[in-house]
Structure 1
C-alpha cells in the first residue's frame, strides 16, 4: 500500500473536486484511509440539501481510486439510488441485487475471467454509495412505508458485517464453474446520502415550540454603516447541524439499528456565493464550461465579466435548498436564447480575435429582474 497517501493527502485530492465542505471531507478522508489500509472504517451518512455536493463527492471518490495504481483492488464502487434497491424484483432479494451490481462493475474493470479468490477480494473491498437514502424512510405521510423498512433491513445485514453467501460464476483451472462465495461484508465501505428535506422543518418546529430542552440560540452581529458608525444587533440563526440529534432521524423514519451502523453523520453546509462562484467558473461539469465548448464549436467565444459571474452566484445562493443546481437553472435560462441564434444575438461583438458573445452584469441583472 502506498504509505504516502495519508488522510491529509486524500483530503487535498477530494477538496479539488468538492467545494465548501471542509469538515465533511476530513471525515471522509479518515474513513477512506482506514478502508484502504484494512482497518475498521466507519460508514458515513451524509445529510444535506440538494446541490450541496453529495453526488459530486461520490464521483470524487471514484476519481481517487482511479488516480492511484496501489488502490486498484478498491476500484469496485457503485453509486446506486436507494429507490432502485427498494423496488421489488421477483426472485431476487435486495442484498443479492446489490452484489450483482458490484460484480458487474468488477467484471467491467478487471475482465470476466476472474477466480473465486479474485472476485471475492474485489467485492469485499468495494465501496457502496447509496444516494437519496432518505427515500427509504420507514414513514411516508405519517404512514408506514413497508418497502423502505425492508430496504433498511437489507442494508443493515451488510452494515453489520455478516457473512453473505453469494452465488457467482468464476474460473477454476481454465473453465467456468458456478460456486458460492462466502463474502465478509464487514470490509465494505458504505457512504449514504440524502437531502432529508422534511428534517429541517421537523427539528425547527420542535425547537421553536420548545417540545424538548433545545432552544434557539441568539448571536450578536456587528453592522458597520456607510457613515462609519457601528451598531450591534441580536439575531436568531437556525442551522440544522447545531440542533440535530440521532433521535430526530428515528422520528424521520430511519430505524435506530440502521442509523447506529454509521460511525459518522456529516452535515453538508449550504453553499455560499463564493463557493458557487468557484463552481460556476471552474467545476468540470459547470454549465458555463459546457456553454463555452458549445460556442467554441460554432467558432464563437463567450466572454463573461467577473461582475456577471458574481451576480449569477449571488442569485444561486438565494436558492439554498437546491444549491449548485441553481447555477444551472439560472445560467441555462439566461443563455438559452443566445444558444439558439447566437449570430443574431444582441451580445455578439466583432473583435480582432473574431466574433465574441459578451455577457456583462447589465445583461445578467436584466434577466434576473425578469425572473423575479
Structure 2
C-alpha cells in the first residue's frame, strides 16, 4: 500500500523547484497537507521582493498536484494577477469572474461534460493564487483606492468561507443545462503574494525616526582577511522579517479583516549568491539553460567557467530588490552581442567535439565594468 504524503514529502517536492526559502516551504507544505485531507487549511500570504520566488512557488504547487494521480480532484488551480481581478467589468462581479476562470480550468483538465456534482467538487477543492496582491491596496500615493478596497471585500467573501451561488453550464442525463451550484468557499486554498515595496520604506522610516517602540539592533560580524587576521565589527542590519507588524500592513492599505483571514504570513528572504548560482545553473527556465538550447540549435555548445558563473551570481545578488530577475538582465545583456552571429564571435573556440562559445570570468568582469 502506498504511503500517504506527509508535509515533509510535500516540502521535499517543492524544494526541488524552489531554491531557498525553507521557512516558506514548510508553511506551504502544511497548508497543502491540510487542504488535500479536508482539514481547515490556513491561507498563505507571501511578502517578498520581486524575484524571490513567489510566482515560482505558485507554479511548483501546480506541479505537485499534477505529479500525484491521487490528487487529481485538487488540480483546478488558477494564478491570477490582482490587477486583473480588480479591473471593473460591467455586468460581472469579481467573485463570479474568479469562478469563471476556475470553471474554465476544470473543463480544460477534465472535459466539458461535467455534472453539477463533479464541477462542484472540483471548484470547492481548487487553489487560488493571487499574484501582486499588494496592488489591491486600499491606498495609493496616500489617496483611497476604491477598486482595491472593493477587490479586497470580494476576496474576503471567499476567504471567510461563505456559501456562494454560482451559475454554470453542466451536463445532466446527457444534456447540457444550466445549474446553480451552492459552493462552499471555505474549502478553497488561497496563496496570495506581493512585493509590498513601499512597506520596506515605511517600516524602516518608523525605526530610524522612532515613530514607535521599535529600534534597529546592532549585531557583531567577524571578518576574515586575506592575510589570515580576524576583525570584529558592529553593524546595523535591517530586514523586514525582523521588524514587521500587522499594523504596518494596515497602514499600507490592507484591511484588517482581509489580513486576518490568512493563517500564515510568510516573509521571503532576498536570494544570496549561492541560491542565485544554483538557480542560474540548474533551474529549467534559467537564462543560461534557455541560451544553451538556443546555441545548441546552431550546433554550438555554450560553456561557462565556474568563476564566470559565480561572477554573474554575485552581481545579481547586489540587486536584492529584483532577485532572480537580475540573473536574466545581467546574462541576457552579456550574451546578446554573441547571439546574432555566434560563428564570428571572439568567444568561439574549436574543440574536439565541435564549436563552443566559452565565457570566462574576464569576459563577465569586463561586461559588468562597462555596465557600472
TM-score scaled to structure 2, two decimals?
0.99
2:59 matched to which residue of 1?
59
- Ranges in structure 1 where 5+ consecutive residues have no aligned partner: none
Determine the C-alpha separation between the residues in 2 that align with 1:90 and 1:356: 57
CA 1:2–1:135: 2 relative to 1, 3 Å: farther
Q: State the Cα distance separating 1:332 from its structure 2 match.
A: 0.2
2:159 matched to which residue of 1?
159
Aligned partner of residue 91 in structure 1, secondary structure:
coil
Q: Is the 8 A contact 1:43 1:189 kept in 2?
A: yes
Is 1:199 aligned to residue 199 of structure 2? yes
Determine the C-alpha separation between the residues in 1 that align with 2:4 and 2:150: 42
Determine the C-alpha separation between the residues in 2 that align with 1:134 and 1:19: 23
Aligned partner of residue 322 in structure 1, secondary structure:
coil
Residue pairs, 1:294-313, within 5 angstroms? 294-313=294-313
Is 1:282 aligned to residue 282 of structure 2? yes
Paired positions, count: 372
1:38 matched to which residue of 2?
38
2:12 matched to which residue of 1?
12
Tell which deviates more after alignment, 173-182 or 190-199: 173-182
Aligned partner of residue 333 in structure 1, secondary structure:
helix
Determine the C-alpha separation between the residues in 1 that align with 2:43 and 2:69: 24
2:230 matched to which residue of 1?
230
Determine the C-alpha separation between the residues in 1 that align with 2:144 and 2:59: 33
Tell which deviates more after alignment, 224-233 or 45-54: 224-233
TM-score scaled to structure 1, two decimals?
0.99
Q: State the Cα distance separating 1:272 from its structure 2 match.
A: 0.3
Q: State the Cα distance separating 1:352 from its structure 2 match.
A: 1.5
Q: State the Cα distance separating 1:309 from its structure 2 match.
A: 0.2
Q: State the Cα distance separating 1:212 from its structure 2 match.
A: 0.6
Determine the C-alpha separation between the residues in 1 that align with 2:272 and 2:282: 16
Determine the C-alpha separation between the residues in 1 that align with 2:129 and 2:229: 52
- Ranges in structure 2 where 5+ consecutive residues have no aligned partner: none
Determine the C-alpha separation between the residues in 2 that align with 1:143 and 1:296: 52
Determine the C-alpha separation between the residues in 2 that align with 1:187 and 1:3: 24
Q: State the Cα distance separating 1:348 from its structure 2 match.
A: 0.6
1:73 matched to which residue of 2?
73
Aligned partner of residue 302 in structure 1, secondary structure:
strand
Determine the C-alpha separation between the residues in 2 that align with 1:177 and 1:273: 56
Q: State the Cα distance separating 1:371 from its structure 2 match.
A: 0.4
Q: State the Cα distance separating 1:126 from its structure 2 match.
A: 0.1
Q: State the Cα distance separating 1:104 from its structure 2 match.
A: 0.1
2:339 matched to which residue of 1?
339
Is 1:315 aligned to residue 315 of structure 2? yes
Q: Is the 8 A contact 1:2 1:70 kept in 2?
A: no
Indicate the RMSD between aligned Cα atoms, in angstroms.
0.9
Determine the C-alpha separation between the residues in 2 that align with 1:77 and 1:71: 12
2:107 matched to which residue of 1?
107
Determine the C-alpha separation between the residues in 1 that align with 2:228 and 2:318: 28
Residue pairs, 1:138-149, within 5 angstroms? 138-149=138-149
Determine the C-alpha separation between the residues in 1 that align with 2:216 and 2:10: 36
Residue pairs, 1:24-35, within 5 angstroms? 24-35=24-35
2:262 matched to which residue of 1?
262
Q: State the Cα distance separating 1:173 from its structure 2 match.
A: 1.1
2:362 matched to which residue of 1?
362
Question: 1:48-104: per-residue Cα shift (whole Å, max 9, x none)?
Answer: 000000000000000000000000000000000000010000100000000000000
2:136 matched to which residue of 1?
136
Moved >4 Å (runs of 4+): none
Q: State the Cα distance separating 1:3 from its structure 2 match.
A: 4.7
Determine the C-alpha separation between the residues in 1 that align with 2:135 and 2:176: 39
Q: State the Cα distance separating 1:225 from its structure 2 match.
A: 2.6
Q: Is the 8 A contact 1:223 1:231 kept in 2?
A: yes
Determine the C-alpha separation between the residues in 1 that align with 2:189 and 2:272: 30
Q: State the Cα distance separating 1:169 from its structure 2 match.
A: 1.0
Aligned partner of residue 222 in structure 2, secondary structure:
strand
Determine the C-alpha separation between the residues in 2 that align with 1:222 and 1:293: 43
Is 1:178 aligned to residue 195 of structure 2? no
Aligned partner of residue 231 in structure 1, secondary structure:
strand
Aligned partner of residue 46 in structure 1, secondary structure:
strand
Question: 1:202-250: per-residue Cα shift (whole Å, max 9, x none)?
Answer: 0000011111111101111112233333222111000000000000000
Aligned partner of residue 248 in structure 1, secondary structure:
helix
